[in-house]
Amino acid sequence: MAPIFGVIISYLAGSIPSAYIAGKLRGVDLRKHGSGNLGATNVVRVLGPRIGAAVFIADFLKGFLPVYFLPTYTDTLRPELWALVYGAAAIVGHVKPIFLLGKGGGKGVATASGVFMSLALVPMLVAQGVWIIVFYFTRYVSLASLLSAVVLPIAILALYRDALSPVFVASVIIVLFVFWTHRAN
């Protein structure tokens, strides 16, 4: 498969608005309730933790599955680099979903978690641990998300010890993107 098709597939997968679908199945437009964000956190606030967990898993898989499977089918000498591009496309799709005309996506945290769980398991588990600890003590999802995002590239650098590693560089770029999506917080 030509890499461009992997990018398109990843973006379209990321664009599936799982929070919007969950809300509509319950007769609620989440864009008009809670924070108005179409992410798992707002789903938990408005529809409850069970539906929020299902949306988190769906959003996580939107990042994990394309990065894990598509490079295998990519006709290129560097499929691991395309895995990074596929991950970025899935995150952008989640934040700016074509199925909602580019408006009203989530902040990309769950999808980015899926991307990096596929690319850098141990550093992502460290970042998830930070998320759990920060959330436990503060009860602020946005703070937990941002601090775990900062820890991710540090953990990647500590493990791989290569500041020019494509995974490290991608993690820094995606961290900046996650901060950008949280700018209103």
d(CA 85, CA 50): 31
Tens-place pLDDT, residues 79-93: 889 999 999 999 999
Percent of the chain with pLDDT over 90: 81
pLDDT given for residue 92 in this prediction: 95
Instruction: Kindly state the average pLDDT of the residues 28-46.
Output: 94
Enter the pTM of the model: 0.92
pLDDT given for residue 75 in this prediction: 84
Nearest to 177 by CA among 145, 135, 144, 154: 145
pLDDT given for residue 3 in this prediction: 92
